[in-house]
Structures are given as C-alpha cells and as structure tokens.
A and B are shown apart, each in its own frame.
Chain A
Amino acid sequence: MSLELVGVAKSFGTVRAVDGVSLRVASGEFFTLLGPSGCGKTTLLRLIAGIHPATEGRVLLNGRDITHAPMHTRNLAMVFQNYALFPHLNVFDNVAFGLRSRRVPRDEIRTRVREALALVKLEALAERLPAQLSGGQQQRVAVARALVVRPDLLLFDEPLSNLDARLRDEMRFEIRDLQRRIGITTVLVTHDIEEAFTMSDRMAVMQGGKILQIGRADEIYRSPANRFVANFVGPINELALSGVETVGGRRRGKAAGELSVWLSDAADASRPGERSLILRPESLRVSAGDIGTENRFPAEIEDVIYLGASSECRVKIGALRLFAIMPTPLTAGLNSGQRVNVGWDARDGVVVDAG
C-alpha cells in the first residue's frame, strides 16, 4: 500500500505546524520523518492517522483519498510514544481490541491474537495487565496490537524513546526485521539520527513544518541539501566560502577568507558569499608527515581527545579551528602544540547555503 501526501498543511491558530508537505512512500517501504522537536513531524503523522484533520492538501492511501476520512475507517495502525496500552485490559484483550472493532469472529480473534503475540514473543504473558509488564514488553504489546489488524499502513511515533539504550538497539533491529518480513508500508517519526539511519529505507528531514530533504541515509549524510540538514545528521566543520572560480575545468574557492581550496565538481558556483563549505570530521586527515590529499595546509594541534576506537584531533590553521575524527592508531604520536599537515579531498567537501 503506497502513501502519498500532496501539499499537506496543518495550522493550530496562527501556527503552521505542518507547512505544505508533499511526499510519496512506496509500498512496503520503511519511511522516516526525522527532525528536532517542534519540527512538525508528529503533527504530520497524526494527519496521516486522521487524529487531526489537515487544513490543506490531500492524503492518499493506495490512491484512495483519505484526507477527510474518520480515523476508524482508515485501516491503519499506530504505535504511540508511551504505547497507549489500555490499562483496564490484559495483553490478550489489548491485542484483540482492533479485531473486535472489526467484528472478527471469536475463534479467528483467538488465533490471530495468538499469532501476533508469538510474533513479538509474548505468548506467555497474555493474561497480564499492562502495569505488570516492563517497558520493552509494553512496547511489544503495542506492536502486536498494531500488526494484528493487518493495517494498510503502520505508523510509529517515537516508539523507542522511552526504552533504555541497550533495549532500544535491540528493538530497532527487531522492528526493522518484523517490518521486512511482513512487508508492511511503515512511517516512523523520530528525532534520533541513529534510529532513522538504521531502520529506514528513506527518510525526510523536517524543520519548521517543511521537508528540507528526502533521501536514503547515505544521500542525506554525504550530500545534505543545506547547512541545517548537514548539521542535524552529524558533526561538521563549517567554512565560509567566497570567490568561487573555475581553474582548468575545476572549481576553486576561498574558504574562511584566506584558504584557497579545491571544491568538488558538483559544487554550485553561483551566489558565492552566501555559501558554506561543509567538511565532515572523518574526511579530514591530520599527520606530522606528508599527506596526499588535494587540499592540504600546515596547522598546529590544539588537542587530541581519545574516544576509544577513534580519536578527535583539534587543529588550528592560523585563526581557523577544525576538528578531525580518525582511527586511534593514526593519531599515535600526535601531541598538543605539534606542527602538522591537515587536509581533505575536494569530493569530501559539500557546498551548501550558509543560511
């Protein structure tokens, strides 16, 4: 079942929580709405679910216009951040809730609830009340309750944010695995980059009610559409860019006012002065000896911070401060105050709007 949003908007009073969102989620795809809190991602999810009515635009589920359909007619299921299990019903009755709403025969309810509980490995706890379950178990009940109705679309609202770190990692893969096996179209909302990257096929990065970029994890990480996306999905070094020119078929620019650097061929040369050169810390190389990168400058080490498998190296090129993250063995012998070379390849730099 595919999902399509066309120019969807939602206003609360004068606040436009969702501001003209269009996107397509393919059948069986795991799609994530990623963004900081207050970016409108949860509101957008609720518009899809029918909890709030959309102010503008259309919501299409498999081509059927459901923009104004009441939520109980949409045949979708949602897993809430706090799970929203019915506290007065035991696990079995929680899972059976959607089937009873659909007037499924009693025998079939029993079979399907058992299957759903087996899927999330909770057969033994069918008689328990939600209050007698751990957070992880409650989470599984919520997933079983959603899957058992065989929805056309599965919605997750920050489903893992109330779990402790270790359980969260486990559940990520469990949910992803379950989703692939069943092949159900899924939309997940999260502010957690790792969660978005490990679980989704594609994602939309949102801010201020708008979508800034849609793509796979690697596309968004390596080719961010703007400075906000670049900064949101990972640490960056940002250098103001001016005076972009073409030298021998290749692009060259002035970074941070003084450094003449080679830029990637994909760099948009228009509007110099409003643009930034974004460098991921892991694409920088720092060495006491010679380095073979296209851009390289003499620098001084300010600090080397041990992080385990990798180390962070803070350097200064004149007044410009940069930080690099390298495998720890490559930082052996580097010390504060040491004169070194720092560099990067042109294709690792991304030129974006500075705004």
Chain B
Amino acid sequence: MLARRIGAPALFVAPLVLVMVVGFVWPLVGVLVNSLHPNTPQGIDAGHWTVGNYARLADPFYGEILLRTLRISVAVTAITGMLAYPVALFASRLSARAQSLFLLAYISPWLINTVVKALGWTLLLRTNGMVNTLLRGLDVIAAPLKLMLNETGVIIALIPGHFMFVLLPLWVALSGLDPALSWAAGTLGARPSAVFWRVVFPITLPAFVAGLVINFIMNMTVFAIPVFLGGARNMVASMLAYQINLVQLDWPLGGALAVALLAFTLTLVWAGQRGAALLAAGKGLQP
C-alpha cells in the first residue's frame, strides 16, 4: 500500500533526480573531495588530506574579492527590490493584455546573450559612451562620469539584467490578491497607506523574499557583466573562480573557493528568509 503510494510519484521524479545526481551532486562531491587534497606541480595529490586550501582563502586578497561580490550583490538586490515593488503593483492593475506586453519589456533583457548584453552596456557607459555624450550635450555635467570599470558599472548593468527574478513572483502574488482584502481593510478604517503596509505588503512578502533570494544568488554568481563592466581590477568571486580553475589550474583551491561561496550564499539566503518569516509571522507590519 505504502510502496504503491510512493511508487508512482517516485517514477515521475526519477529522471530529474538522476540528472541532478549525475550532473550536479556527484561533481559537487568531487569538488568537495578535491578541495581537501593538496595541489602539487604534478597535479592533485589524492594521497594526502589537508585544510590548507581553505586556510589560503583567508588571504586578504580573497577576502576583498568576496566582500566586493557581496557589496555588489546586496546593492543590486536592494535597489531591484525598491524598484520592482511599484512596478509589480502597477503591472497587476493593468488589463490582461497590457500586463503581458508590459512584463515582456522587463523580461526581454534575459532574452539576449549575456556577453552581447555586457558589450552593449559598455557602448552606453564608457567615457565617450551614449550616456556621457548625452549628459554633456545637455550641459548636465562638465567632465565625463566614470560609469564603468568600477562597481557602479556592474551594478547599473545587473539591475535590469536580473530584474525579472523579483518582478515575476511578486506580480503573480499581487495579481492573485483578493481585492476584497483591501476593501475589508478600507471599510475597517485603514487609510490607503495602512492598507498597503498592514495587508498587501505582509501577504505578498513571501513571494517578494523568494524573488530577492533568487536575484541575490544570480548576482553572486554572475560572470560576463563583471568581466566587461568591472574589469580585472574589480574582480568578483566568479572571475576569481575562473582564474583559479582555468588559468592557474589549481583545482583544490578552486574547490575550496566553490565550497566556501556555496556555504556563504546559503547562509545569507537562510538568514534572509528567516528574517522575513519572523517579520510576517502573526503580527503583520505596523505602519
């Protein structure tokens, strides 16, 4: 009886589980194992075990890169969150046809190859790029702004690139919200601002947080945009991983970096969700 109840669903998920185990879990275990072996000029020394690779990550050089990655990711996620909520609110109130066109505009950046997109941004943001030319033409600025080959450039290009990961779940939650909830709050004496902060926002918070988490993970792991818009002097974790694994060919150190990044990102995501759950639990938000 039990076997039968589990049997059919297990059969349906089996192909995916197989793909994940072979294509993801197994290599990840390999990475973990590699990270615990010393690297030698002859290759990975599988005969010895060490935590030395992790100790090397404590070097301030790596710490700075990790901190920069985190700084950029948090900035992008925070700015996206503040911009996406009003956009989602607006989209959820459009007619069905207008909604799909409107959302397509926000999804479209994702339809373009990331390298092409990054190169496109350099045309806009470089010293003699379209933005600086326009601003100088309008006499808004005297000297060109430094909009790329720094963290600003990476942040500017990442916001539209990963916008839809916050927008879409939030839009689904907002357009599925029963209007009677807002009416009930309004007839009970809540001003429009209180209706938002005490009803609409707390109810859609889980979807909002889910979107922010995805956005944050995407920011932490993005590669092409930091390469083109940050440059070698503004290295982020993904560029470092590339260099260690594919240029230096130091797989044990690369493994240690990957494991550390994974643990770091998961901890932050867990903390974020936990915080949101506490915020939403029972009481709702007071204006």
Contacts and interface: CB of A to CB of B under 8 A. Distances in A.
Interface in B269-287: 280, 282-284
A96 to B, nearest CB: 10
Contacts of A87: 203
A86 B186 contact: no
A78 B183 contact: yes
B282 A80 contact: no
Interface residues of B, number: 22
Given A86-B284, A88-B284, A97-B198, A77 B187 contact: yes
A84 B186 contact: no
A93 B187 contact: no
A74 B186 CA distance: 10
Contacts of A76: 187
Contacts of A81: 180
B183 A80 contact: yes
Interface string B160-192: 000000000000000000101101111111111
Given A80-B180, A82-B180, A89-B284, A72 B186 contact: yes
A234 B223 CA distance: 73
B280 A51 contact: no
Contacts of A85: 184
Interface in A70-114: 70-78, 80-82, 84-90, 93, 97-98, 101-102
B186 A51 contact: yes
Contacts of A98: 188-189
- Most chain B C-beta atoms within 10 Å of own C-beta, residue among A72, A88, A146: A88
Contacts of B194: 101
Interface string A62-73: 000000001111
Interface residues of A, number: 32
Nearest to A95: B188
A78 B282 contact: no
B38 interface: no
Contacts of A102: 189
B81 interface: no
Interface in B64-113: none
A86 B199 contact: yes
Contact of B187 (A71, A86, A88, A89): A71
Nearest to A82: B180
A345 B180 CA distance: 50
B230 interface: no
Interface string A114-137: 000000000000000000000000
A85 to B, nearest CB: 8
A76 B183 CA distance: 12
B189 A149 contact: yes
A77 B189 CA distance: 9
A51 B284 contact: no
B188 A84 contact: no
A98 B194 CA distance: 11
Contacts of B188: 72, 77, 97-98, 101, 145-146, 149
A236 B203 CA distance: 50
A50 interface: yes
A82 B187 contact: no
Contacts of A277: none
B202 interface: yes
Contacts of B187: 49-51, 71-72, 74, 76-78, 155
Given A86-B199, A101-B189, A101-B190, A80 B184 contact: yes
Contacts of B184: 78, 80, 84-86, 145
Interface in B38-81: none
Interface in B201-233: 202-203
Given A80-B184, A82-B178, A72 B190 contact: yes
Contacts of B283: 89, 93
A73 B183 CA distance: 13
Given A82-B180, A84-B181, A88-B202, A93 B282 contact: yes
Interface of A: 46, 49-51, 70-78, 80-82, 84-90, 93, 97-98, 101-102, 145-146, 149, 155
Minimum-distance CB pairs A-B, first 10: A98-B188, A101-B189, A84-B180, A84-B184, A71-B186, A101-B190, A80-B180, A78-B187, A88-B202, A51-B183
5 contacts: A46-B183, A84-B184, A98-B189, A101-B190, A101-B194
Given A50-B186, A80-B183, A88-B203, 5 more contacts: A51-B186, A72-B187, A84-B178, A97-B185, A145-B184
